[in-house]
Structure 1
Amino acid sequence: MSLTAAAPSTKRRPVFPFTAIVGQEEMKLALLLNTIDPYIGGVMIMGDRGTGKSTTIRALADVLPEIDVVANDPFNSHPEDGDLMSDEVRQQAQQGISLPVAQKKVPMVDLPLGATEDRVCGTIDIEKALSEGVKAFEPGLLAKANRGILYVDEVNLLDDHLVDVLLDSAASGWNTVEREGISIRHPARFVLVGSGNPEEGELRPQLLDRFGMHAEIRTVKEPKLRVEIVEQRAEFDRNPEDFVSKNQQEQEELQQKIVKAQNLLPSVNLDYDLRVKISQVCSELDVDGLRGDIVTNRAAKAIAALEGRQEVTVDDIRRVITLCLRHRLRKDPLESIDSGYKVEKVFSRVFGLEMVEDTANTNGVRTGVR
């Protein structure tokens, strides 16, 4: 009796649905706002082990709508937007060459802790470049992540030099590789998401400041919610296809909501008086630079767009300002007050609102104002 090997399955592995994730609202909101406006600058997620950080980020990438790319281009170049094209594709477009278009899922790239600079940035084949006179470039992880999400788990354990490279690319939108006088650059616009456990070490303040938002997550304390989370996970592990199918409608609705928000974002208005008050909060908190002001403005507009509105409200600002500022405050080792609580307190005073004292939400973090 002869045995024939079964053909390998090309079916995509099911991903836990974003809409089925219970709790951790702060993290989910920060991630959604960055997909609506990538210029917010990414998210740093700090929290306990086993709180669903990686699951949530992979689930987000899965729910995002497909994007148009130039077929067979290693940099996911946009077929029409010159800012999102590689130099080679842009030259072809300028020459009037027809670009083949394909659709693909938003790329989600995991950056392993032991990655080398060549693996991250890409490498130039010097021998080929010199002998054949062509720029032989092997793309790295930054090329794959262009127009997608770059996820760095345990970012606080990553080599400082690599973190610098990532943040420079995220800020400029380009990755440049130089070897022996040969220089190659390609677009590298991605939402940078870092996660880590504060017990394993803190990020340097100047690096932390480069992340647009900072979500703090805690292990859910309420027994009923814990049971619900465990049951959801067990149901998914038993039959992933059925579980995904059951949540399909909610996933599609969220995807449509994201697309509408991205289209609405340019027409969202943030009143001048509210902008002045945001800057006043940043000033009173002694936040260095203007990044805090810019990110809070962008995040407030993104949350209004997410909810289908063209005017930013005070409540929109309340819901995002702690995420945008808590990691930008100067640390005082003798101070026991939580930085998030400090932001809420100053926000309440500047905006003339009343603080809600010591109520805890499902993340184990104080809630804000009313």
Structure 2
Amino acid sequence: MPSMRGIAVVAGLSFVALLFVCVNVSFDPLHTRTTHRHLAQKRFALGPEPLPRAASAPPTARATRSAASESAAATGAPRVSTAADADVCANASTYLEHTEFWGGLLVSGEQNAQRSAAECCRTCRDYEPTIELQEGRPCTTFVFHPTNGACWLKHTSRQHLAQPGRGPAVPWTSGVLLDGHRRCDDCVLPATYTGCVSKALCNTSRECGSPAIDGYARIDPKCLERSADARRYLELVRAGVRLDAHAEEGADFDGLGVRWGIGHKKSNWSACEAACIAHRPSGAGPFGSLPCNVWTWCGNGSCWEPDAHSHSFGDCWLKFSERPEAVEVNMRMPMSKAYMRRHRREMAGGVTWVSGVLLAPGTLMTNGTWGPRAFW
């Protein structure tokens, strides 16, 4: 669940998002009631804002191949394997022992143990790019440790190919694959959208940006405390105004944890919602001064989401989000085909979370926007 720690995952989809609805805060007593609405599970409509230009486009296979091949020849690296090979990973010339190539990290070897260099090679060949990692670049280099089985997948530049770590003391076996990659389905975005996919592709009206970018590593708690939404919700809580409540089954909403969910058990989703309504900031912890306006509840024996934690029935996460009426959605069926391929086993039972938001009276709820975690 959301935290200050980076979350290592891989992720993808043809990205679309819904038009943000402006906040209209009203203190009319007619609106001081709690309502529940099951949100429609449908794809997001296009937003009105222009797509930001990425800092740099992924290199083409042709340009990357020629540069890498030249560098490999100059350094005595293994032959650069191409799609013309029947099975590049079965070819001994693909590998170079006692060599460690550098590059942009795609998959950590700590989470990708393989039994052999050939199996490591195949995970690189079958790697499915996602726009959240290295701007959708493919796996072009694998680095395998023959003792512990760690298999690191990377995107390698010409400079990194030209300067590998080499020598009898280097335990790694490396290889280079520059053709036959899977395409990045997530990288095909609409001309306009609202929301954040990655640091380079972020178009949001949230004052402090999308917190999940770079695995929550760029969160600014002070910015969030100063945000208009945080101040507005604190005023509503102090005034005793009842907030409009919206709940959705089969959805996982993002936000920053003001109350850690693991061990915070509730018997049903309405009890979790009530806990969010009753929450009062304690001031403890990095987000302790923020109010609760988003919650998620695990309604299954175990609930999965792309993070490093194990979640079980009754876990109730209390969260804060800017623009909760356009909440960032981590998961909601149907997810993209690329996402479902990456998480085939974990998503076999669909989305087992129930999520909800609390809105200022009179604020219209939208279908939300996809957040970065929908691409992990």
Range of TM-score over shorter length: under 0.3
Q: Which has the larger share of helix? A: 1
Of structures 1 and 2, the one scoring higher in RCO (CA 8 A, sep 6+) is: 2
In the superposition, the TM-score normalised over structure 2's length comes to 0.23
In the superposition, the TM-score normalised over structure 1's length comes to 0.24
Q: Which has the larger share of strand? A: 2
